[in-house]
């Protein structure tokens, strides 16, 4: 087990190298930052001098290695916009993003597990059709639209929740629902189809022949077996939440990495873009590793070597 974790941690290194390359390419093709850094009436010779000073005239490879060397020292450069080091700026936003991701997963889990199980137990009844139909709707609604509608109804028309920002517990509810709905829809369908398959397994019949009650049958014998694919999807969705909460964070002015990233892209604040992408990549890797370790706890047949 320890050996496996160590192996997985070592695998992060090549992944990180590739990420640095991609991140650097992104910035390289994004264009000349000098135009934004100097006033509009600056002369061409001033610009050229700045380019020279920043090393922007060096060959691609030289620039890339310079970038990697800086990264190794934890130096992502300085944000023009905030006039601060980029990495601390991003890390400062990390708790807000993680908080929202966690809250969304809670919303998704609380909705999807009971609905998915109910749907499987009552296959092809009205309730099942209603839930599966509803999950199509939930998956089809775009986040930005749902976010705006929720704000309109529950923060403007009826002022239960604050419109935007982060602070109290009330602030997180609308964005968490916005993000959680789509995930809940996907997980509901997954749990349903999984449970249906598992309820037909031989070991369910064995348990039934032992005199186990229906609820123990479903919640102990079947549900535990259906969790493995569910955890896979949850892991994927968390990665998605960390990186893809851009729109929701913008709609709710949630001060997370997503919002920072959108602002940085708009302002061509490339040091921040690089740092944010880098941090998100590491989060995704860590979440994947945790997911793989959870499999081991859920299914004794899985062995790591």
Q: Among 79, 225, 237, 243, which residue sits at the site for another protein (rule: CB under 8 A)?
A: 225
**Site for another protein (CB under 8 A): how many residues?**
21
In eight-state DSSP terms, residue 46 is H
In eight-state DSSP terms, residue 141 is S
What residues contact residue 294 under an 8 Å CB cut-off, 6+ apart? 231
Q: Which is nearer to another protein, 171 or 221 (CB)?
A: 221
210 makes contact with another protein (CB under 8 A): yes
Rounded to whole angstroms, the Cα distance separating 134 from 139 reads: 9
The contact mask relative to another protein for 264-303 (x = CB under 8 A, - = no) is ----------------------------------xxxx--
209 makes contact with another protein (CB under 8 A): yes
Closest CA to 246 of 283, 276, 290: 276
Q: Among 29, 61, 202, 266, which residue sits at the site for another protein (rule: CB under 8 A)?
A: 202
Q: Among 153, 170, 205, 304, which residue sits at the site for another protein (rule: CB under 8 A)?
A: 205
Instruction: Yes or no: say if 136 and 205 are a contact pair by the CB < 8 Å rule.
Output: no
Q: Tell me the window of 25-33, 138-146, 210-218, 273-281 that interacts with another protein (CB under 8 A).
A: 210-218
Q: Which residues lie across from 78 on neighbouring strands?
A: 85
Rounded to whole angstroms, the Cα distance separating 148 from 248 reads: 9
121 makes contact with another protein (CB under 8 A): no
Residue 203: count of CB within 10 angstroms of its CB: 11
Q: How far is the CB of 280 from another protein (least distance, A)?
A: 33
Residues that bind another protein (CB under 8 A): 200-203, 205-214, 221, 224-225, 298-301
């Amino acid at each position: 087990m320890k050996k496996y974790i160590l192996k997985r941690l070592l695998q992060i290194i090549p992944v990180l190298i590739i990420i640095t390359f991609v991140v650097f390419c992104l910035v390289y093709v994004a264009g000349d930052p000098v135009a934004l850094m100097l006033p509009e009436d600056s002369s061409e010779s001033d610009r050229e001098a700045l380019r020279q000073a920043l090393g922007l005239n060096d060959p691609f490879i030289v620039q890339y290695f310079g970038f990697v060397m800086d990264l190794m020292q934890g130096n992502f450069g300085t944000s023009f916009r905030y006039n601060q080091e980029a990495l601390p700026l991003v890390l400062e936003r990390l708790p807000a993003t993680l908080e929202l991701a966690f809250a969304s997963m809670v919303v998704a889990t609380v909705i999807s597990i009971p609905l998915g199980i109910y749907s499987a137990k009552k296959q092809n009844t009205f309730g099942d059709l209603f839930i599966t139909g509803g999950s199509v709707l939930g998956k089809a609604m775009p986040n930005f639209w749902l976010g705006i509608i929720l704000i309109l109804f529950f923060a403007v028309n009826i002022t239960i929740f604050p419109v935007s920002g982060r602070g109290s517990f009330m602030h997180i509810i609308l964005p968490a629902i916005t993000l959680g709905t789509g995930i809940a829809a996907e997980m509901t369908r997954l749990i349903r189809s999984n449970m249906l398959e598992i309820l037909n397994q031989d070991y369910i019949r064995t348990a039934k022949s032992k005199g186990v009650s229906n609820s123990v049958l479903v919640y102990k014998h079947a549900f535990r077996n259906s969790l493995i694919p569910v955890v896979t999807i949850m892991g994927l969705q968390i990665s998605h939440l960390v990186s893809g909460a851009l729109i929701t964070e913008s709609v709710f002015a949630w001060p997370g990495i997503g919002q920072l990233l959108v602002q940085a892209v708009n302002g061509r604040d490339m040091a921040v873009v690089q740092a944010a992408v880098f941090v998100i990549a590491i989060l995704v890797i860590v979440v994947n590793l945790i997911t793989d370790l959870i499999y081991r706890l859920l299914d004794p047949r899985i062995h790591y070597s």
